[in-house]
Amino acid sequence: MWRPLIDRLKNKFTVIAPDLPGIGDSDIPKDGCDMKTAAIRIHALAKSIGVTKARVVGHDIGLMVAYAYAAQFSAEGMCCNFEGGGRIRPEMNSVARS
């Protein structure tokens, strides 16, 4: 689902699309995989590679992590919600570009 969006965004943005710990192909972390902890892990990843301000996008379970990220790190992230099959609706183009 994310690959077509990454292709559209990568020329204007730095796109980081990690596999959420415990979701997909990664193992379940020993300290759990609740949304708050997952957001802390994503934040730590971003900081470790020098990201100081982020736009966080999520879908399905990742959306819950994105909300948790925005709640904990509101000064550093903006949470965007793309519903459905991951298609960017025409009215959302300005959001994706900002």
Annotated domain spans of the chain = 2-16+34-97
Whole-structure pTM over 0.85, yes or no? no
Which pair of tokens denotes residue 74?
């509101």
Q: What is the residue whose two structure tokens read 């959001």? A: 95
Amino acid residing at 55: R
Neighbours of 42 (CB within 10 A): 24
Q: How many CB atoms within 10 Å of residue 37?
A: 16
pLDDT in tens, the chain (98 residues): 788 889 998 999 889 888 887 777 778 888 877 888 888 988 999 999 998 888 888 878 888 888 888 888 887 766 565 554 444 444 444 433 33
Angle, helices 61-72 vs 35-48, to 10°: value is 70
